[in-house]
Amino acid sequence: MQLATLLSQKKAAILGRWLTMIYESYPPETAIFLQKEKNRFDNPAGYRISEGLEGLYGALLQEMERDQVLTCLDEIIRIRALQNFAPSQAMAFIFLLKNVIRQELAEEIRKENLAADLLDLESRIDGLALLGFDVFTKRREKIYEIKADEAKRRISGLMRKTGLSEDGLL
Amino acid sequence: MAKTPTPAELLPGLSYKPPEKGWMDVKPDFRPGTYCNPASPKWMDWISYPYAQPRSIPDDNWGLPQDWKEIVLQGMEDRLERFRSLKVFFDICVRCGACADKCHFFLGTGDPKNMPVLRAELLRSVYRRYFKTIGRALGEIAGARDLTEDVIKEWFFYLYQCTICRRCSLFCPYGIDMAEMTLLGRELLASVGLNIDWAMASVAQCYDKGSHIGAPPQAFKDMIDFLAEENERITGITTPVSYNRKGAEVLFVMPSGDYFADPGTFTMMGYLLLFEHIGLDYTLSTYAAEGGNFGWFISHEMGKRLNAKIYAEAKRLGVKWILGGECGHMWRVCNQYMSTWWGPVDFLEKPVSPITGTRFENAAVHKMVHISEFTADLIHHGKLNLDPQRNAHIKLTFHDSCNTARGMGILEEPRYIINNVLPEGNFVEMPPNTIREKAFCCGSSSGINANENMELRMQGGFPRANAVRFVADKYGVNHLGCICALDRATLPTLLQYWVPEVEVTGITELVGNALIFPDEMERTTDLRDRDLVGFGEAEEAGEEEE
């Protein structure tokens, strides 16, 4: 059996465990809430993170356009880039998938001799992480961009009055 | 040499289970981006606030006065006597947890101390220690703790991570009002010199010059005259503005965001067009040039000092009643506090619309009407000539501003206006658990719309933006409407991070777009100079054929 088939068969278990590990990076009370509340509007972080993870898992199982992969990464990273995490902590979730797969599929990998497939998959997870760094950097840059734009907007009416466009002032 | 950590080891929750710490032992992490800078002594001096000195959050020493502890405890005692509600809120909570996951800051930050029940506990624990026998006797076992500098720092951190939006109160079976506790807690902080710079700068400017942005009367007039000229350029309609005119029927007061910052300026243009359309006998005051009140975000006392000018100007100018622009917290202050502070307001009359004759009984005491109430009444009586097609390029959803909606019950009026100024099908509601009384806050209100705490603001506004994104993705919504100037200032930034395809608009801007005047120019753009859908196209097509 191929690793890809196993990943499809065990998708629910692997995704569930991956998600739980991410939730556990939050304080215990928060982790319980993120796990428990299923309404997407009452639990926006839980919803967006789980959506993003599902997309990323799909990207590992089948071909996906790079933009789509970046969108899935962004779902999660734009939340964690704001929260109380060091960059390494914010991004660690991608690598956690390796732990989950090694644990969930340990027996099958050994029995079916899928070590080579596993190495290939782990390289692709590394690739996801590298793309994740692009997304993380963009999100941090975005914060500085919106700060600057807001500062300009505060006097934008005045700037229009004096005939200066936002670009003209800069 | 230290071992390089694995990814799992980088995350404390995964690599090891830290021993369970009680909440009292977990200290706040003052990470840049999550807190507001302390107030500059300059602003505090302007308004004679105590213990002004330069402060820095990362410093261990926050420069508290020697007797800070006595001041805070005395302040708490005074407030417990003055506000019976505070004592009730402290005593009555049974920690049912109904509020816990209702705060936008908890949902965005994931920090359990942003659960309202726990945020309140920051204050309540001190109350128990010093004002309850059981707390004095049993200490931590009874949920009581000593007042230390660390506790003060924690208050500063979390009381400025509450936007006094009251969403939690809605879900509390006892109606405990976190907003009131936050406000009184902020007063205690101010009593020992701890204020935030963004709010304090606005307050000082407003106290000294008349508006949060510090515009002197000349700049105020200049700017609004410019917006009137813009109206004329776009619509061909002259909208002359009346300033400080004695004997006008109505004094119109709006937040300064409406005449200095986009997109509020377009709402201001809408006000002027509306007043011209109905021939309202109104005046603006260059002294009551600010409807907003950042003073209320610091203390009730400062809120009162800033509010004084509204009635004072209404009296000086001899108007009959006051009309208020699209502002959230202004509305709460004017409705819930103003007549208590200054009443009885016998120098004004019960507001009656001069156009429709409607008596605004709801404003009988404080004599001030909200522009949305006023406009909805005009539409209801068929007094506005409107062409909704002029807003056909706008697919709107509506953000209920906490103070107007949850605070004051203005839920239907803006929706009624929207449905009359937009083509049918162009208004889409967000999901029910995110609007009306249950609306998620913008995450930047109550004086924390500073620049240095942007990460915090983006987290606090995440639940709001998440619902906006839903209707943007599903229905192609491209505008978020609101009747609050702080929303107009902060939501564009929030959406730029989370839902960049959606713009923010005031509702009176949409009215301004839709108003038809008998002698107007042919309209081809909206008030923002954006092309209208289906207007001027025939002409363009004709030109192409030639």
pLDDT for B261 equals 87
On whether the CB atoms of residues B104 and B167 are closer than 8 A, the answer is: yes
In this structure, are B167 and B275 located in the same domain?
Answer: no
User: Angle at the Cα of B214 (from B208 to B215), degrees rounded to 5?
Assistant: 115
Residue B51's Cα: distance from chain center in Å? 28
On whether the CB atoms of residues B176 and B117 are closer than 8 A, the answer is: no
**Hey, is the C-beta of B222 within 8 angstroms of any chain A C-beta?**
yes
In this structure, are B355 and B219 located in the same domain?
Answer: yes
Express as a percent the part of chain B with pLDDT over 90: 90
In this structure, are B315 and B457 located in the same domain?
Answer: yes
The reply to whether A113 falls in a domain is yes
pLDDT at B546 over 60: no
**Hey, is the C-beta of B13 within 8 angstroms of any chain A C-beta?**
yes
Which run of H or E residues covers position B503? strand B503-506
In this structure, are B156 and B304 located in the same domain?
Answer: no
From the list A84, A96, A143, which residue is nearest B31 (CB)? A84
The reply to whether A28 falls in a domain is yes
pLDDT for B11 equals 81
pLDDT for A63 equals 83
In this structure, are B440 and B360 located in the same domain?
Answer: yes
Interface of A with B in 119-148 (CB under 8 A): 142-143, 145-147
**Hey, is the C-beta of B10 within 8 angstroms of any chain A C-beta?**
yes
From the list A40, A94, A157, which residue is nearest B265 (CB)? A157
On whether the CB atoms of residues B270 and B341 are closer than 8 A, the answer is: no
In this structure, are B253 and B385 located in the same domain?
Answer: yes
The reply to whether B374 falls in a domain is yes
The reply to whether A35 falls in a domain is yes
The reply to whether A43 falls in a domain is yes
Pairing mode of beta strands B321-324, B250-253: parallel
Q: Where is the domain boundary, B195, B220, B238?
A: B195
Q: What is the ipTM of this complex?
A: 0.95
Strand partners, B505: B481
Helix ranges (H only) for B11-166 are: 12-15, 41-46, 68-82, 84-92, 104-109, 116-131, 133-138, 149-159
Q: Which of B430, B458, B427, B431 minimizes the C-alpha distance to B442?
A: B458
Mutation site for B-interface testing, chosen from A20, A22, A29 by largest number of B Cβ within 10 Å: A29
In this structure, are B180 and B270 located in the same domain?
Answer: no
Q: Where is the domain boundary, B166, B195, B224?
A: B195
In this structure, are B468 and B380 located in the same domain?
Answer: yes
**Hey, is the C-beta of A157 within 8 angstroms of any chain B C-beta?**
yes
Query: What is the 3-state secondary structure of B442-485?
Result: CCCCCCCCCCCCHHHHHHHCHHHHHHHHHHHHHHCCCEEEECCH
Q: Which of B18, B17, B25, B189 minimizes the C-alpha distance to B113?
A: B25
The reply to whether B530 falls in a domain is no
Mutation site for A-interface testing, chosen from B4, B10, B501 by largest number of A Cβ within 10 Å: B10
Q: Which of B33, A100, A66 minimizes the C-alpha distance to A92?
A: A100
Query: Cα-flanking dihedrals φ and ψ of residue B225, to 5°?
Result: -60, -40
In this structure, are B190 and B224 located in the same domain?
Answer: no
How is residue B304 written in tokens? Answer: 């009162």
**Hey, is the C-beta of A102 within 8 angstroms of any chain B C-beta?**
no
In chain A, which residue's Cα lies nearest the Cα of B495?
A: A146
**Hey, is the C-beta of B489 within 8 angstroms of any chain A C-beta?**
yes
> How many structural domains is chain B composed of?
2
> How many structural domains is chain A composed of?
1
Interchain CB distance below 8 Å, B433 and A42: yes
pLDDT at B248 over 50: yes
**Hey, is the C-beta of B470 within 8 angstroms of any chain A C-beta?**
yes
Residue B369 CA to residue B287 CA, distance in Å, equals 19
Q: Which of B86, B94, B91, B87 minimizes the C-alpha distance to B173?
A: B94
**Hey, is the C-beta of B466 within 8 angstroms of any chain A C-beta?**
yes
- Whole domain around residue B152: which residue ranges? 21-195
Residue B420's Cα: distance from chain center in Å? 26
On whether the CB atoms of residues B332 and B368 are closer than 8 A, the answer is: no
Q: Helices B178-191 and B84-92, interaxial angle, to 10°?
A: 110
From the list A33, A41, A43, which residue is nearest B434 (CB)? A41
Residue B264 CA to residue A156 CA, distance in Å, equals 10
**Hey, is the C-beta of A20 within 8 angstroms of any chain B C-beta?**
no
On whether the CB atoms of residues B404 and B434 are closer than 8 A, the answer is: no
pLDDT for B388 equals 98
Q: Where is the domain boundary, B195, B225, B259?
A: B195
From the list B31, B109, B260, which residue is nearest A155 (CB)? B260
The reply to whether B469 falls in a domain is yes
- Whole domain around residue A27: which residue ranges? 3-141
**Hey, is the C-beta of A151 within 8 angstroms of any chain B C-beta?**
yes
The reply to whether B1 falls in a domain is no
pLDDT at B538 over 80: no
Averaged confidence pLDDT in chain B? 94
In this structure, are B141 and B264 located in the same domain?
Answer: no
Query: Cα-flanking dihedrals φ and ψ of residue A60, to 5°?
Result: -80, -25
In this structure, are B405 and B474 located in the same domain?
Answer: yes
Give A-chain residues touching B509 at CB under 8 angstroms.
Answer: none
With left for phi above 0 and alpha for psi between -120 and 50, is residue B431 left, alpha or beta?
beta
The reply to whether A62 falls in a domain is yes
Mean pLDDT for the stretch of residues B92-106: 95
pLDDT at B141 over 50: yes
The reply to whether B519 falls in a domain is no
Give A-chain residues touching B201 at CB under 8 angstroms.
Answer: none
The pLDDT-based confidence of B217 (bands split at 50, 70, 90) is very high
Q: Helices B507-514 and B264-278, interaxial angle, to 10°?
A: 50
**Hey, is the C-beta of B259 within 8 angstroms of any chain A C-beta?**
yes
Interchain CB distance below 8 Å, B10 and A89: yes
CA distances from B386 to B100, B233, B426 (A): 45, 20, 15
The reply to whether A161 falls in a domain is no
Q: Which of B495, B446, B452, B489 minimizes the C-alpha distance to B161?
A: B446
**Hey, is the C-beta of B14 within 8 angstroms of any chain A C-beta?**
yes
Residue B412 CA to residue B405 CA, distance in Å, equals 9
Q: How far is A147 from chain B (nearest CA, A)?
A: 6
Residue B546 CA to residue A19 CA, distance in Å, equals 64
Least confident of B188-197, B210-219, B280-289: B210-219
pLDDT for A170 equals 37
pLDDT of chain A, 170 residues: tens digit per residue? 689 999 999 999 999 999 999 999 999 999 999 999 999 999 999 999 999 999 999 999 888 899 999 999 999 999 999 999 999 999 999 999 999 999 999 999 999 899 999 999 999 999 999 999 999 999 999 999 999 999 888 777 777 777 776 554 43
In this structure, are B314 and B191 located in the same domain?
Answer: no
